[in-house]
Structure 1
Amino acid sequence: MSDLRKEVIEGYAGTDLAVHVMGDTGARPLLLLHGLFSSADVNWIKYGNAKILADAGFEVFMPDLRAHGQSGAPHDPAAYPADVLVDDLKLVIAALGFTDYDLGGFSLGARTSVRGVLAGLAPRKLILGGMGLTGLSGWARRSAHFVDAIDRFGTIERGDKAFVAQAFMKSMKIDRVAARLLLQSVDDTSADAIAQIAMPTLCVCGAEDHDNGSAPELAEALPQGRYIETPGNHMSSVTFKDMGRAMAEFLLD
């Protein structure tokens, strides 16, 4: 895509973070975070959803999270304190000079967006993709599943509940040492904390996506939550342009 460009921003402990940008320079900024073991390209760019949002009038900023995509993947445990992704998010927002912006994420990106808001970030509107209530409050169980997939990588056979995670890690060429450290930096988010998120929030989720619990329940738990169902499961929902269209409609409303 000719209008796709990249910046490199220094994250926590000097880790380089690749930020992919699409849309007219100076348009309203929208910051989007991808999911675990994925990348900005796979979640937002490859299947056209970033272009939908750029065409709707947004300048879309899409970081590769640390240990993912084209960003750094340090092996030093000190580079992964609690909520390091929130630290990275704050540094990206500061480096880009955002004061009035929208924020969204898919799966781990949604979880990071929630944690960022609870840590003081104040986007105008918030988008939580592929995320349900128990995906936030019961993260420890979800994380253990992925740590197990990392620890048994290369030995997991088809039919095992961790097989899909293993296959995705292989296709994305994930640095498993860095990914394991990152998983241990993310914590649960209580239902009481979620109820403190005051800005308008879209919970957009595939009809067959139940990996992170119930998105309608999450929308109900938010003071200004709205739920929109799109096609697909947790892996495929980002491949449908329905997700980008739903996000654009919400942001322009």
Structure 2
Amino acid sequence: MAKHPIETHHFASFDGTKLAWHEMGAGRPIVLIHGYFSDANTNWIRYGHADAIAAKGYRVIMPDLRAHGDSDKPHGSAAYPPDALAQDGHALIAHLGLTDYDLGGYSLGARTTGRMLATGATPGRVVFSGMGLEGIIHAERRQDHFRHILTNLGKHERGSPAWLAEAFLKTTGGDPVALLGILDTFVSTPRGAVAAFEWPAVVVNGREDDDNGSAAALADLLPHGRLVEVPGNHMSSVTKPELGQAIAEFLAG
């Protein structure tokens, strides 16, 4: 159970889609974006990461991406244009009137953070977690993997990566049709653009996590990036307190 009270709010994004965000703590704002198939509660609240960050004097703002969590889950393709998630992030920042804030995300949330930076976001500090360089510069590299999972539910070999992903999907109550739409929103960020990200940045990644490529390569390419490794793989590192502690220490540093 979270130590800090949590508030949940909703707003209409750039195209009218109703999106939810959750908040805890007070102080400097940090917008944290969750991963694919997940939601703000699973990624940031359940395992104490948001609490650890709030304890450092932060207002932790955690949206549920469209098609996830408490946000709308539209089925029409019109709701999933390229870069829709980055546009949602910009819309939330505008809705809240944030001008001095930090920004970060896990997995798809980290890729979305990159897209927001490439399309005009102006945070003070940046967090990339559960993400490697290939996952940002080649956003399409896992589309087929996820499309296979979502179009063959109930048919995956027990214990396989696809089966584990489906099991996780069940725990979050994901909508497979809406989540398929999310795949159409993926946009790559060119290597040169990433190399021009001048913000202080941390790459926090599980030691056994190479799902989105090399976290070390991402940290090396970022002009002011550094790598912090935490225990676990892409799925398990989210459950480890070290992940939230690493982010909190970077932000407070």
Q: Return the TM-score normalized by structure 2.
A: 0.96
Which letter does structure 1 place at the counterpart of 2:87? D
Following the alignment from structure 1 to structure 2, what is the Cα–Cα distance between the partners of residues 183 and 102? 26
| 8 Å contact kept, 2:7–2:24 | yes
Following the alignment from structure 1 to structure 2, what is the Cα–Cα distance between the partners of residues 247 and 169? 25
**Matched residue SS, 1:162:** helix
Identity of aligned residues (%): 47
**Matched residue SS, 2:15:** helix
The question of 1:5 aligning with 2:7 is answered yes
**Matched residue SS, 1:14:** coil
Question: Structure 1: 5+ residue runs without aligned partners?
Answer: none
The equivalent of 2:108 in structure 1 is 108
* 4+ runs deviating over 6 angstroms: none
| 8 Å contact kept, 1:12–1:79 | no
The equivalent of 1:183 in structure 2 is 183
| 8 Å contact kept, 2:115–2:187 | no
- How much does 1:159 deviate? 4.5
**Matched residue SS, 1:205:** strand
Following the alignment from structure 2 to structure 1, what is the Cα–Cα distance between the partners of residues 153 and 211? 20
1:198-237 per-residue CA deviation (whole Å, 9 max, x = no partner) reads 1011000011111111111100011111100111111111
**Matched residue SS, 1:87:** helix
1:93/1:220 CA distance change after superposition, 3 Å:
same
Alignment of 1:58-73 (within 5 A): 58-73=58-73
Alignment of 1:85-234 (within 5 A): 85-234=85-234
| 8 Å contact kept, 2:64–2:70 | yes
The equivalent of 1:15 in structure 2 is 17
- How much does 1:189 deviate? 2.0
Following the alignment from structure 1 to structure 2, what is the Cα–Cα distance between the partners of residues 192 and 72? 34
1:113-148 per-residue CA deviation (whole Å, 9 max, x = no partner) reads 000000000100000001001111222121110011
1:241/1:160 CA distance change after superposition, 3 Å:
closer
- How much does 1:49 deviate? 0.6
Q: More deviation in 10-19 or 106-115?
A: 10-19
**Matched residue SS, 1:103:** strand
The equivalent of 2:30 in structure 1 is 30
Q: Return the TM-score normalized by structure 1.
A: 0.96
The question of 1:236 aligning with 2:229 is answered no
- How much does 1:36 deviate? 0.3
- How much does 1:12 deviate? 3.0
The number of equivalent residue pairs is: 251
Following the alignment from structure 1 to structure 2, what is the Cα–Cα distance between the partners of residues 11 and 183? 19
